[in-house]
Amino acid sequence: MKGVRILYVLLLAMCLIGCINKPPKTTVNNETVGDIWSATGGEYITFSKTFSASDIDHVDYMFNGEEPLQFVTRDPRIINELFDAVSAIEIGEETNEVADDYEELIVFYTTAQERYSIRFNMRHLVLNEQYYLITNDDALWNVTQKMGEVKE
């Protein structure tokens, strides 16, 4: 009986630790979300749940800074890395910090002629012209840099 109580206490502690370490959810369009795909909603959720790099024709990355950049990849490895990096991003609070010359756009083009775009301003997520702080985004920017280094 004592062993069951100890097990119960351990399980309860694990549950509490799991709840404490979860990222906070953000409200977007009056809905609580925690990831980019949920926040964009609708067909983006379906896209994320059925994602396969083999269904992607190419991905564009565009930056409108002082020196505008555009990179394109058809490499399934890089496409998977991009998708995983976007999926790992956590959405934080809304922000008013924006700039006219620091927009980034990532667009997944499918072989079925569909387009899924994710927009950033000053590395803040842009949804319906509202701006959100994000965390866990370093991998995404590393992959976009890799896109610029790879010549296809």
Q: The CATH number of the domain where 34 resides is what?
A: 2.60.40
pLDDT in tens, 89-137: 999 999 999 998 899 999 999 999 999 999 999 999 999 999 999 999 9
Provide the domain limits for residue 35.
24-149
Compute the Cα dihedral for 41, 44, 50, 53 and give only its sign.
negative
Residues in the chain: 152
| Of residues 116, 126, 51, the one with CA closest to residue 84 | 51
The reply to whether 49 falls in a domain is yes
Determine which of 24-28, 48-52, 114-118 has the lowest per-residue pLDDT on average.
24-28
Structural domain count, the chain:
1
Q: Please give the pLDDT value at position 30.
A: 43
Exposure pattern of 15-45 as b/e (b: 16+ CB <10 Å)? eeeeeeeeeeebebeeeebebbbbbbeeebe
pTM of the shown model: 0.77
